[in-house]
Structure 1
Amino acid sequence: MRKVILTILTVIIAIVACFTALAGTWKSDSNGWWYDEGNGSYPKNTWSWIDGNDDGVSECYYFNENGYCLINTITPDNYYVNPSGAWVENGIVQTKDTGVSAGTEALDSVDVVSGSNKTSSKSDNSNSNKKNMLESDPEISYQFFDNSEYITLSGDNWKGGAYFYTSDWYPESYAEFYLGKKYKKLTIKATPFTKNYRYSMGVKTELIVSNAETEEVLFTKEITETTKKFTIEADVTDVDYIRFDYRMTYRGESVVPAGSLLIKDAILTM
């Protein structure tokens, strides 16, 4: 019996030692961050679940063809990764309980389920005279994200809103929403996203709101990091689809410039 127990313990120790030996390490050079798996290999052209701080919870990262982690951008398969490189859906970092940290695991080897609490704007049958446009998903969008962070700016909490993101690499963002010619007025609260390095000093951006079908401009404003909270107001009478174009017009002197715009309370009135 002792021999059996000793054998089992020996196997367990060997397994643990193996995990320890293969545990990876984040490393960086002048080109960016990559993940050394501890066995002479590193992920590239793939998603990988990594428990970088050994807390039993892994985040998911995308590595390019050279093995560098993409950060604060859209991956080739159209998912958003935050400034830390972690995969984010609906403003929430996606995680996976791993129990034991042992290098990386490919994304396609697990089932990942993520959903949205929003509805299609075309399926909205509400009879209310008012509606928050942000409660519906955009028909199309690029670099436009939900905001689930508790952020206080200009005396307001912007959690539950959304934001347009631009940078040196991605100078344009946009979103289109379906209104169905049911509303007359749209008002939205907006402010430059000056926290968490989301808006760099010297950067200039421009917001244009238009009728997506006729291209008639309904609202336009130039924005800098000193711009105060403002209200977007637009006459949306007979507008079927409304489009928001947000772009960086001047990059300033920052090494990696960014210029994001927070919005919330997008109230449509009949």
Structure 2
Amino acid sequence: MKVLAATMLCTGAFALTSFAGSWVNDANGWWYNYGNGNWPSSSWQWIDGNNDGIAECYYFDRMGYCMMNATTLDGYQVNGSGAWVENGVVQTRNMGSGQAGNGAQNTSQSSSQNNDQSGGKSSKQGGLTLFNANSLLNYNVEREDSLVSNRENKSYTKCFKFWPGEYIEFDNSAGYTHLKATVFPAKGSWNESDRILLQVLSGEDEEFYVTQDIYYDTKAFDIDVDISGYEKVRIKAISVNNAAYVGLANARFE
């Protein structure tokens, strides 16, 4: 069942155009240049690097580097060449000659004309949308396709809905440095006396960020939290007075 699930993950639900690409390495590791100004990041990709018609599946981190001799964030093993393995056996896919197929969840491709200072490779940016990510822990936090803010009556999509005492925790072993999101009182649950706040904590319950008190008429506001050095990031709602729902929209690691 695990192999089947992983195969579905790497295969994807759709086919994308293939490009004649090549493997490139610099001081930080190996990445894959599609040859059209794009590269894979934060995603699994089937790549036929030697054009023999047989592709292997590789995972690229948010900076676009291929993970090697590691366990990926979704729990699969990759060998010293970066290829996905099960019980030591490299998993392959028949692609046809000269193709580099790609299809996976959380796929992100970026390009830039600027060089970074670490190896001369074009700088790349990627992110992780938390609404679509698996959580390490989830204590009653609901994922809602849409929520409406109490003051502006504005609809937000892909939201987390927090009641005081509820929390959700995500893995940050990939080394993202920022948690960004929009926070607002969710419509329909607020009284004028209610006051709630959101905390951001490490996996060891060390608080390193907290919002100001949120009231029924608080305007929606954006947060940008420095999560550098924290391998686990927990978001938790706390009651200052009474209880009501707080919405968190467009939450992401960058």
TM-score when normalising by structure 2: 0.48
Which structure has the larger Rg over C-alpha atoms?
1
TM-score when normalising by structure 1: 0.45
| Structure with greater helix share of residues | 1
